[in-house]
Amino acid sequence: MTEGQATSAERPVYLVEPWCVREPELRLDRLAQSESVFALSNGHLGMRGNLDEGEPHGLPGTYLNSFYEQRPLPQAEVAYGYPESGQTVINVTNGKVIRLLVDDEPFDVRYGRVHHHERVLDMQAGTLTRHVEWTSPADRRVKVTSIRMVSLTQRAVAAICYEIEPVDAAVRVVAQSELVANEALPDGGKDPRSSAILDHPLISEEHVANGTKVLLLHRTRQSGLRMAAGMSHQIAGPESMAVDTESSPDVGRLTVATRLEPGQKLRIVKYLAYGWSSQRSRPALHDQVVGALAGARQTGWDGLLKEQRTYLDDFWCGADVEVDGDAEIQQAVRFGLFHVLQAGARAERRMIPAKGLTGPGYDGHTFWDTETFVLPVLTYTSPGAAADALAWRQMTLPLAVERANQLGLSGAAFPWRTIRGHECSGYWPAGTAAFHINADIADAVVRYVDATQDERFEREVGLEILVETARLWRSLGHHDVGGVFRIDGITGPDEYSAIVDNNIYTNLMARRNLQAAAETAMRHPDLADRHGVNAEEAASWRDAAAAMLIPYDDRLGVHPQSENFTNHARWDFAATKPDHYPLLLNYPYFDLYRKQVVKQADLVLALHLCGEAFTEEQKVRDFDYYEGLTVRDSSLSAQTQAVVAAEVGQLELAHDYLGETALMDLHDLNRNTRDGLHIASMAGAWSGLVAGFGGMRAGGGRLRFAPRLPGGISRLAFRMWYRGNRLRINVTAEAACYELLEGPGLKLSHHGEEFTLADEPAELPITQIPARPAPTQPVGREPAPRRIDPHGRAPGGG
Amino acid sequence: MTEGQATSAERPVYLVEPWCVREPELRLDRLAQSESVFALSNGHLGMRGNLDEGEPHGLPGTYLNSFYEQRPLPQAEVAYGYPESGQTVINVTNGKVIRLLVDDEPFDVRYGRVHHHERVLDMQAGTLTRHVEWTSPADRRVKVTSIRMVSLTQRAVAAICYEIEPVDAAVRVVAQSELVANEALPDGGKDPRSSAILDHPLISEEHVANGTKVLLLHRTRQSGLRMAAGMSHQIAGPESMAVDTESSPDVGRLTVATRLEPGQKLRIVKYLAYGWSSQRSRPALHDQVVGALAGARQTGWDGLLKEQRTYLDDFWCGADVEVDGDAEIQQAVRFGLFHVLQAGARAERRMIPAKGLTGPGYDGHTFWDTETFVLPVLTYTSPGAAADALAWRQMTLPLAVERANQLGLSGAAFPWRTIRGHECSGYWPAGTAAFHINADIADAVVRYVDATQDERFEREVGLEILVETARLWRSLGHHDVGGVFRIDGITGPDEYSAIVDNNIYTNLMARRNLQAAAETAMRHPDLADRHGVNAEEAASWRDAAAAMLIPYDDRLGVHPQSENFTNHARWDFAATKPDHYPLLLNYPYFDLYRKQVVKQADLVLALHLCGEAFTEEQKVRDFDYYEGLTVRDSSLSAQTQAVVAAEVGQLELAHDYLGETALMDLHDLNRNTRDGLHIASMAGAWSGLVAGFGGMRAGGGRLRFAPRLPGGISRLAFRMWYRGNRLRINVTAEAACYELLEGPGLKLSHHGEEFTLADEPAELPITQIPARPAPTQPVGREPAPRRIDPHGRAPGGG
């Protein structure tokens, strides 16, 4: 996954506030970005922040998790094992639309005069609020306020409270609240990173209008999925109102016409409900949506708001991060946590896509991003959501076993990219060959179990995943004549190398996978037996793990990312023009693959996730070496570089990388936030702070911290869950204070020193470390600096 | 390039005769194979051996060298540098058709009764003759004889002499001689190795009927090429004949109606002429074809036959190979030489496709096959054709330079597969990455210049190719910190490995390329200067060549095909079912690439072509090692294994491999002769005999032989050209006799012993060598044995 980086400094689109993202004026030039930033989702239902009136728009979008259409995956030269069709997320029936006519003139911000236009995403309330004051071309002035929510408590439900009032003179207003299926979408362009946009993917099956309620039912053409969207309304306004509803195959409409005197308001509460199924009948789905609407109406608008806030209060009390000294990062880490939660909260045994439900980028697929970058955050802040995401992987195991079998391997080969579990990658060297995703999933299982001691999960979900992925590794690797266990011909995280031998990240993660499977099987012999694991198989996993090859370049004194990597020519960075990044859009894969150039942290990701395999000195040398090669053409890279930079004492550099991951979407750094948010980067803000400056590492029941702050951050405090304990760690330049907010207490480690945390907070000192020279990055690829100027603004960030 | 291998023994389709391929009865089950075997071509115009009456057919085919249509090359995931469209050969206007009505019943071998049906390809006459005796469903018996030729002397011309006579009673006959454009073609199926067949590729521009002459002009839709096909007739028969011609956009027709008494004949001589151009106007092309028809008529049928035989006599007197003891091989080597000549004779600065002009396989593309396997034969038997083929490569240099530039490389990157010079490969790991094609072309230049001392060619064609390819290698490789020159991330000949470092074949061939460019530039400093080569650049080529890395596995005592190859897991041959070959149709590339399994000779090809880089002992060890890994899923492999087996003294094994390459198409071993002949395998029969059992090697002005025969061949004699000398070498088990048929004489070497050959033949003894144990092949992939039984038949071969 790759993006182009923006460099020009522009006036900020959003104000920097600790709990809100506020757009103080409507920026039509950033409309599509804002639609992603202001997207609301509960992980099941997602709505982009499109304007209520539908137009103008960057990209209209309403998504249901795992509701997709098939599309062909053509190949100039077909070969065995290529997937024949892909899956792509589709824009489902749009229930956000409320059009308004003011004295017959449509309310449209492109016409007339906008006096005031403000939108606020409130991360404590879980709402998007909009205030507009507008004069029509015919000189009628109105105020429009809308509050939108996608309920975190009622999974099928969204709601909008829409109010209109005249400002100085009476107006005749007509409001049209709609459901619109098969909206026309703008062209996707040719960038392979954008979604394949499908025209008219929905076929009408039923439409009903009844009272203030309208339902539209559709199914997809190829994938054969059925969906229903319904709306229901509560209307308050002058006594004389004409209300009408109608439906047609692709449009449902409620129309309210009235005349408002100054001081009068028209208020429409629109309840929306969605459902989909690959199996349930039309009547069943119909009733399901009608039921959800009834439930929402019963709760009422104020009730929904209250539930939402309670849900979020609960979340923040175990997840909040406070940052003093860098207000942008403070906002960004909460923004990131909010969107990570939105992506996973109610996904409930469905996948978490790379873009969440905020846009159609990457066809709506999930990748290893989820397990490697997003689930660590959920594991320690909202563990149930992490368990659900892994339970979804388990549900897809039959497909992964089938895929492994097709590839001539044992166990399970999870897809590189997918919506429903089928491999949808059209380029195998950077798809199927990237087997590390299997170890990444296994690692997420190990991490979750370590963090929660959820034995039921381990037995019902975790063990099977560990066993099947261990079987994969055992069959993918082999012992050479010297007895070393090799994993040849695969692709590691860095997508500027492919089909390599003994990628260190992959080998270390496979080792962990094999060990964990063997240990877990030993812990649950009854279950292991049911999965066909005997003592010999478990022994063969332990042996392969113990014999795993980890190449080392003695000549340079660094670890090669994979065998032979450090013998390759270095990329000629000096000759590479700034506008030739991302490189993959300007150079052929063959050239990238055979040279030392790194798209994204790979060996450095191993330094983070498998730190126990490296000495401190190796970490320093390796990090320096790969800094000189890493161009960060993937948005996944900066957070890992932030974490490892902090670990090796490059605190200012870590702060710079943190800025890049945290502000990826708020500043649209890669110029593709329009296609959806980078959920992994959103998670990266948390990781950069907690794993980076907090030095948090966990595993084997041990939770360790090694906090140390950069100059620009005067205080960092974060909350997290570990084994039933809710903790708060407050870090300053001099000391860290550990506090148990809830739970039985636990052993922790602070900079290598173990201590027990119980009722009493523990304050421990932080020693300064001598500065080392900073490593250099490829010319022009340095992260933007976050040095704080006297007024507290970060010049590079905003 | 890959094929499935046939194993079942069937009754022979063709009789074994030294100078002819005779089909004694019509084998409808092998119709498409016979259309390829009986194809006639002069390298410019090719006609499959379709029946005169058009139906039944396996695959109708008439081809003009380099006349192609564009087709899309779709990709599920697009990346920089992928070609966007491909080129595919198309079936042009069919001029072979002569339909016959016998008392109103169409002559069709599927109806009525065929008493006799014989077809004979005569390799001395250069004709395809057909004799049929047939009784119609209405009981009318006729004899039909046709002789078809594609002229080797008049490049645009083909001709057919068609005769009908009644056998016992008078018949009314109507003969319709046709030109048919846009014939319906059978479906191509899903095998990626077949051609993409395009429907109705030709758009009519003009059609004219005049006297016995008809012309059809068409152009292609996408590629914008224009072609013309014309026919003209001489008719002899009873006095009362009705002759009529007509034309429509896609059909031209001459109709002759008459009544034949027993003893009377109707004889139609049909002259055909073809032309095409990307630039010339419709009138110009029209006139060109009319002119060619006039020339052919002027020469007349007998004149054309005579020219053809003279041309072939000339060829055979410098090319013939005689084999005693194995009659199948005797026939096959002449069949192979004949088709190699047909593919290249009059190509004249156009490419030589992998299938010649005998079928649409591989989209009609040319590959490295031509330079590596076909041009060696032409260089020593018909050197002008080899020069022409290389001159075509030079004509495409601007495209190759552009491609190199697109790939970020210096010099020229020739396309892996193409018709007109544009890269048409849709899968870069086995296309663009196979850079060895550039060294293969350079090697063909070096070989041609060595064999002919053609200084004008060297100055006008060769030098530029050598310089631009040397530049490519210099930019593709780099010196590592130890000073070694590495070529990383490329693909060698073996298509079951890809994107490897330091493939030995590639590195050795690149070394030769760099050395030859430096030497040739030094010989022609004026020209070198004109191509921008200075002393520094030439020095950098010499240095890179001298520092070239040739990996060696000390542990196993063999050369790894590429770095790390011998550390990979061996393919599990024992677990691979016989029907799972060719492997690429049943296993994913990723699995093939990361294991020790070899599709086709790669390191062993280096043993043949770069023998000077290996000791005798290394050759023995390396050959044995790779025999155990090579599955020959490519038809290109057996000939190289034959040559090297002979060199290391495995003479019986060499004979077996020779049988496989020589009988590839006559026995349809890979079950895909229907798509066209394997021209490289055809050439392989010569190479297996001359380079294999003759031990012929040439280079640096030295022509060497090391003849040694297997038990099943009692005598081998071959003719060849070298530096203006025409030689004949006659080999028996005991001795070799070297004879100078023409030319100034030269120094030769016999088993390492130098001698001068002038007017007197030289007879030199051959010592027997002790037998070594035969190497083993992967189970089930042994070549069919050619041990001769007492009756002289080879059980495995026919």
Q: Which of A79, A482, A588 sits opposite B584 (nearest CB)?
A: A79
**Non-local CB neighbours of B364 within 8 Å, separated by 6+ positions:** B63, B68, B87, B88, B89, B195, B353, B355, B419
Based on C-alpha coordinates, what's the Rg of chain A?
Answer: 27
- Which residue from B699, B698, B607, B713 is spatially nearest to B651, judged by alpha carbons? B713
Q: Is residue A385 part of a domain?
A: no
> CB-side exposure of B95: number of CA atoms within 13 Å?
35
ipTM of the complex in this document: 0.90
Chain A residue with minimal CA distance to B77? A426
Question: Would you say A368 is a known binding-site residue?
Answer: yes
Q: Which residue range(s) make up the domain with A72?
A: 38-313
**Are A569 and B594 a contacting pair at CB < 8 A?**
no
Chain B residue with minimal CA distance to A583? B80
Collapsing DSSP to helix, strand or coil, A402 comes out as helix
**Chain A 493-532, residues with CB within 8 Å of chain B CB atoms:** 498-499, 501
Q: Are strands B569-570 and B595-596 parallel, antiparallel or unpaired?
A: parallel
Asked if A143 contacts A131 with a C-beta cutoff of 8 angstroms, the reply is yes
Arithmetic mean of pLDDT, B401-414: 97
A473 vs chain B: nearest CA distance in angstroms? Answer: 13
- Which residue from A561, A538, A541 is spatially nearest to A551, judged by alpha carbons? A561
Q: How many Cβ atoms are within 10 Å of A569's Cβ, its own excluded?
A: 18
Place of tokens 């027997």: B768
Q: Where does the pLDDT of residue B418 fall: very low under 50, low under 70, confident under 90, or very high at 90 and above?
A: very high
Count of helix runs (H) and strand runs (E) in chain B: 19, 33
- Which residue from B728, B652, B726, B723 is spatially nearest to B693, judged by alpha carbons? B652
**Are A80 and B586 a contacting pair at CB < 8 A?**
yes
Average pLDDT over chain B, rounded to an integer: 95
**Are A426 and B77 a contacting pair at CB < 8 A?**
yes
| E strands, B32-84, in order | 40-41, 45-47, 62-64, 68-72
Arithmetic mean of pLDDT, B719-736: 98
| pLDDT tens digits along B375-385 | 999 999 999 99
Place of tokens 């995703």: A437
**Would an 8 Å CB–CB cutoff place B557 in contact with chain A?**
no
Collapsing DSSP to helix, strand or coil, A423 comes out as coil
CA distance B559 to A739: 63
Please return the burial class of B228, using the count of CB atoms within 10 Å of its CB with bins 0-12, 13-18 and 19+: buried
Chain A residue with minimal CA distance to B409? A591
**Non-local CB neighbours of A191 within 8 Å, separated by 6+ positions:** none
Asked if A766 contacts A736 with a C-beta cutoff of 8 angstroms, the reply is yes
**Are B499 and A499 a contacting pair at CB < 8 A?**
yes
A584 vs chain B: nearest CA distance in angstroms? Answer: 7
Q: Is residue A301 part of a domain?
A: yes
Q: Is residue B680 part of a domain?
A: no
Residues of B involved in catalysis: 495
Please report, for residues B101, B258, B581, B673, the alpha-carbon distance to residue B175 in angstroms, rounded to integers and kept in the order given: 6, 9, 47, 31
Q: Is residue A135 part of a domain?
A: yes
- Which residue from A643, A645, A639, A636 is spatially nearest to A685, judged by alpha carbons? A639
Q: How many Cβ atoms are within 10 Å of B129's Cβ, its own excluded?
A: 18
Share of residues in chain A with pLDDT > 70 (%): 96
**Are A428 and B590 a contacting pair at CB < 8 A?**
yes
**Are B590 and A499 a contacting pair at CB < 8 A?**
yes
**Are B585 and A429 a contacting pair at CB < 8 A?**
no
Q: How many Cβ atoms are within 10 Å of A208's Cβ, its own excluded?
A: 15
Please report, for residues A248, A421, A465, A740, the alpha-carbon distance to residue A392 in angstroms, rounded to integers and kept in the order given: 36, 9, 11, 32
Place of tokens 């021209």: B679
Q: Which of B74, B480, B588 sits opposite A76 (nearest CB)?
A: B74
Sheet holding B735-742, edge to edge: B321-324, B715-722, B725-732, B735-742, B762-765
CA distance B489 to B507: 12
In A, which residues are within 8 Å of B568 by CB distance?
486, 488-489, 501
A251, β-bridge pairs: A180, A248
**Would an 8 Å CB–CB cutoff place B408 in contact with chain A?**
yes
Chain A residue with minimal CA distance to B583? A80
Question: H helices of B524-601, where?
Answer: 525-530, 535-546, 589-593
| pLDDT tens digits along B242-261 | 999 999 999 999 999 999 99
Encoded tokens for B406: 């697109």
Asked if A343 contacts A351 with a C-beta cutoff of 8 angstroms, the reply is no
In A, which residues are within 8 Å of B486 by CB distance?
567-569
**Would an 8 Å CB–CB cutoff place A4 in contact with chain B?**
no
- The reported pLDDT for the residue numbered B152 is 98
**Are B591 and A190 a contacting pair at CB < 8 A?**
no
B196 vs chain A: nearest CA distance in angstroms? Answer: 10
pLDDT under 50: residue ranges of chain A: 1-9, 189-195, 790, 792-798
Q: Are strands B746-750 and B702-705 parallel, antiparallel or unpaired?
A: parallel
Q: Give the domain CATH number at A300.
A: 2.70.98.40
A200 vs chain B: nearest CA distance in angstroms? Answer: 21
Arithmetic mean of pLDDT, B84-100: 95
φ, ψ for residue B439 (rounded to 5)? -70, -30
Collapsing DSSP to helix, strand or coil, B9 comes out as coil
CA distance B220 to A309: 68
Q: pTM score, two decimals?
A: 0.94
Based on C-alpha coordinates, what's the Rg of chain B?
Answer: 27
- The reported pLDDT for the residue numbered B771 is 85
| pLDDT tens digits along B390-406 | 999 999 999 999 999 99
A89, β-bridge pairs: A68
Residues of A involved in catalysis: 495
**Non-local CB neighbours of A554 within 8 Å, separated by 6+ positions:** none
Q: Are strands A141-150 and A127-135 parallel, antiparallel or unpaired?
A: antiparallel
Residue B792, pLDDT > 60, answer: no
Question: Would you say A577 is a known binding-site residue?
Answer: no
Question: Would you say B369 is a known binding-site residue?
Answer: yes
CA distance A630 to A597: 6
Which of the residues A423, A499, A595 would you substitute to probe the B interface, choosing the one with the greatest number of B C-beta atoms within 10 Å?
A499
B648, β-bridge pairs: none
Compute the residue count for chain A.
Answer: 798
**Non-local CB neighbours of B611 within 8 Å, separated by 6+ positions:** B619, B647, B697
**Are A594 and B490 a contacting pair at CB < 8 A?**
yes
Q: Where does the pLDDT of residue B795 fall: very low under 50, low under 70, confident under 90, or very high at 90 and above?
A: very low
Determine if residue B648 is left, alpha or beta; phi over 0 gives left, psi from -120 to 50 gives alpha, anything else beta.
Answer: alpha
- The reported pLDDT for the residue numbered B292 is 98
State the virtual CA torsion across A715, A720, A722, A728 in degrees, nearest 10: 50
**Are B80 and A486 a contacting pair at CB < 8 A?**
no
- The reported pLDDT for the residue numbered B187 is 67
Residue B197, pLDDT > 80, answer: no
Q: Is residue A499 part of a domain?
A: no
**Non-local CB neighbours of A40 within 8 Å, separated by 6+ positions:** A46, A47, A49, A126, A127, A128, A148, A149, A150, A158, A342
Which of the pair, B347 or B455, is modelled with greater confidence?
Answer: B455
Residue B149, pLDDT > 50, answer: yes
| pLDDT tens digits along B287-335 | 999 999 999 999 999 999 999 999 999 999 999 999 999 999 999 999 9
| pLDDT tens digits along B457-516 | 999 999 999 999 999 999 999 999 899 999 999 999 999 999 999 999 999 999 999 999
- Which residue from B738, B746, B742, B659 is spatially nearest to B706, judged by alpha carbons? B738
Question: H helices of B199-346, where?
Answer: 282-317, 327-344
Chain A residue with minimal CA distance to B585? A80
- The reported pLDDT for the residue numbered B770 is 87
Collapsing DSSP to helix, strand or coil, B196 comes out as coil
Taking the CA atoms of B659, B661, B663 and B664 in sequence, report the sign of the dihedral they define: positive
In A, which residues are within 8 Å of B363 by CB distance?
none
Encoded tokens for B426: 């849709």
Encoded tokens for A278: 């690959």
Cis bond upstream, residue B56 (ω within 30): yes
**Non-local CB neighbours of A783 within 8 Å, separated by 6+ positions:** A632, A638, A641, A653, A656, A657, A659, A660, A777, A796
B790 vs chain A: nearest CA distance in angstroms? Answer: 45
| pLDDT tens digits along A18-76 | 999 999 999 999 999 999 999 999 999 999 999 999 999 999 999 999 999 998 888 88
- One DSSP character per residue, B140-160 reads -EEEEEEEEEE-SSSTTEEEE
**Would an 8 Å CB–CB cutoff place B580 in contact with chain A?**
no
B219 vs chain A: nearest CA distance in angstroms? Answer: 25
Q: Is residue B462 part of a domain?
A: no
- Which residue from A317, A288, A319, A257 is spatially nearest to A102, judged by alpha carbons? A257
Q: Are strands A171-180 and A251-260 parallel, antiparallel or unpaired?
A: antiparallel
Asked if B377 contacts B679 with a C-beta cutoff of 8 angstroms, the reply is no
| Segment A371-374 long-range contacts (CB within 8 Å, at least 24 positions apart) | A371/A437, A371/A440, A371/A441, A371/A443, A371/A444, A372/A440, A372/A443, A372/A444, A372/A605, A372/A609, A372/A680, A373/A636, A373/A639, A373/A680, A373/A683, A373/A684, A373/A687, A374/A340, A374/A343, A374/A344, A374/A679, A374/A680, A374/A683
Encoded tokens for B583: 């492997």
Q: Is residue B345 part of a domain?
A: no
Q: Is residue B524 part of a domain?
A: no
Please report, for residues B193, B214, B244, B494, the alpha-carbon distance to residue B211 in angstroms, rounded to integers and kept in the order given: 44, 8, 8, 56
Domains in chain B, number: 1
A-B CB pairs within 8 A amount to: 158
Arithmetic mean of pLDDT, B550-568: 97
- Which residue from A606, A636, A404 is spatially nearest to A512, judged by alpha carbons? A606
